[in-house]
Amino acid sequence: MDATKPDQGQSEQIANRLRTDIIAGRMEEGSPLREIALAKQFKVGRGPIREALQRLSHEGMVVAKPNCGVRVATSPPNSIQELIVPLRRTLETFALRSFFQDLNANDFDQWHSILKRMRIACETSDYASTVELDIEFHQSIVERAAQNDLLSIWLTLVSRLRNQFQNGHRKYDDPMKIYYEHVSIITIFQTGDLEQSLQTLEWSIT
Amino acid sequence: MDATKPDQGQSEQIANRLRTDIIAGRMEEGSPLREIALAKQFKVGRGPIREALQRLSHEGMVVAKPNCGVRVATSPPNSIQELIVPLRRTLETFALRSFFQDLNANDFDQWHSILKRMRIACETSDYASTVELDIEFHQSIVERAAQNDLLSIWLTLVSRLRNQFQNGHRKYDDPMKIYYEHVSIITIFQTGDLEQSLQTLEWSIT
DNA sequence: ATCGGACATATTGTTGACAATATTGGCGCT
DNA sequence: AGCGCCAATATTGTCAACAATATGTCCGAT
């Protein structure tokens, strides 16, 4: 067997790669994703590509017109996004509440790892990485709840708010503020004060 | 070539069929769905089957373990369902609000068509059909908003509440009450009173 | 010159065969 | 007899070729 990796789902890896590319804004809205081109790019057959694309389509990252291909989705109208934001808040606070009392050193190690990378991204004004890490941070909270249902729903919500993550960093004159904001979240978590933590997390979700 | 239909996505039809089968309770929780068996059953290759299964997997109808196949999902824990119910309320009322002023005779024709079928199902104590029509009713409201984002999110939510639809009909001694409840919803809609309609719809979502 | 229709091209949809992996039953060992 | 290992089987994962459909272009008629 290949010692490279247990290869647990290569379509998932492709989906993750494309997802971060879209989130980071490396792909224009409305630009098409051709199966053959992606297949050659990833050195893989068209099957896994189709699966990855279908997954992103369900999440709302791309839109698929039958017999016509998939394109990077355009952001939903503001009315929809304003509907989704509170749903996202409900989900993330629910997740946090579910495991807050079980937090251990290992959890904080992982979060500090994200923060470390985020600090570098912010210091170098690497907007794409900053956006990715912002989402990775919140996703790690949802994943920590170890409820697959939660993650699935969260992904379908966040995919439709990705432009807020992208634009959100414009509103800060200093990119470092993004970093400090997340540091403060983890700092509150470490105090063990649940209510304060929930409030800080909620407040960070625009 | 079959002149029956323009064949707009045969994997979608398969997914719909399997979804209603699961919702209606015709498949045991945890029972496996084998690709080859389904392929022969639907007289189709394994490709479309895989796509349908992946869609249902993302919705939460089935769970897919890599290299191991998919099984009918077990209902999420109550804590998750209690989280999802208010999200579903928010979504459906948002949908209703978005198109309420544009309602026309055609809309009510379609709803009355559903109610007619639901009446028959309730009269004959056909629980499976009753559940299907209950969901079709609410789905028609979300679809009427003509926002694909809304429908995608709604599906991921409702799939995880399917046991509530199934059990919900036990709590009524008389199955006809389910029918009357939906009739009253449409009746309120026809009065044109938005606030009253929103409240009735919300109240119907357990 | 512009509009409509048919042809050529490109892309997606589908299929069957092959490879990789997990499950199941039997065998030997303790 | 019980436990662990190993082969046989069944199932999923992947690929390349084929069919169906949409897109874009060219030509001719008005």
Give the separation between CA A37 and CA B22, rounded to whole angstroms.
Answer: 37
CB atoms within 10 A of CB A118: 24
Q: Which amino acid, one-letter code, is at A174?
A: D
The reply to whether the CB atom of residue A53 sits less than 7 A from any atom in nucleic acid chain C is no
Put simply, the answer to whether B83 touches A94 (Cβ < 8 Å) is: yes
The reply to whether the CB atom of residue B2 sits less than 7 A from any atom in nucleic acid chain D is no
Q: Is the pLDDT of residue A65 over 60?
A: yes
Give the separation between CA A49 and CA A51, rounded to whole angstroms.
Answer: 5
pLDDT tens for each residue of B35-61: 999 999 999 999 999 999 999 999 999
Q: Which chain A residues are within 8 Å of B50, Cβ to Cβ? A: 51
CB atoms within 10 A of CB B146: 11
Q: Give me the domains of chain A, ranges plus CATH numbers.
A: 10-72 (1.10.10.10), 78-204 (1.20.120.530)
CB atoms within 10 A of CB A37: 11
Among A103, A115, A32, residue whose Cα is nearest residue A73:
A32
pLDDT tens for each residue of B16-34: 999 999 999 999 999 999 9
- According to the model, what pLDDT value does residue A131 have? 93
Sheet holding A32-33, edge to edge: A32-33, A69-72, A62-65
Among the partner-chain residues B60, B86, B152, the one whose CB lies closest to the CB of A149 is: B60
Average pLDDT over residues B124-145: 95
Joined together, the tokens standing for residue A90 give: 């409900």
- According to the model, what pLDDT value does residue B9 have? 78
pLDDT tens for each residue of A34-56: 999 999 999 999 999 999 999 99
Tokens 């209603």 -> residue: B20
Task: Judge whether A180 is closer than 8 Å to chain B, CB to CB.
Answer: no
Give the separation between CA A58 and CA A123, rounded to whole angstroms.
Answer: 35
Among B155, B169, B159, B152, residue whose Cα is nearest residue B206:
B169
Distances from the Cα of A189 to the Cα of A110, A136, A159, A193, A202, angstroms: 13, 17, 26, 7, 13
Task: Judge whether B60 is closer than 8 Å to chain A, CB to CB.
Answer: yes
Indicate the Cα dihedral angle A120, A125, A128, A130, nearest 10°: 50
Rounded distance in angstroms from the CA atom of residue A57 to the C1' atom of nucleotide C23: 33
Number of residue pairs across A and B with CB atoms under 8 Å? 64
Give the separation between CA A106 and CA A25, rounded to whole angstroms.
Answer: 32
Task: Judge whether B98 is closer than 8 Å to chain A, CB to CB.
Answer: yes
Residue nearest to nucleotide D21 (CA to C1'): A67
Q: Which residue has the higher pLDDT, B1 or B16?
A: B16
Average pLDDT over residues A178-197: 96
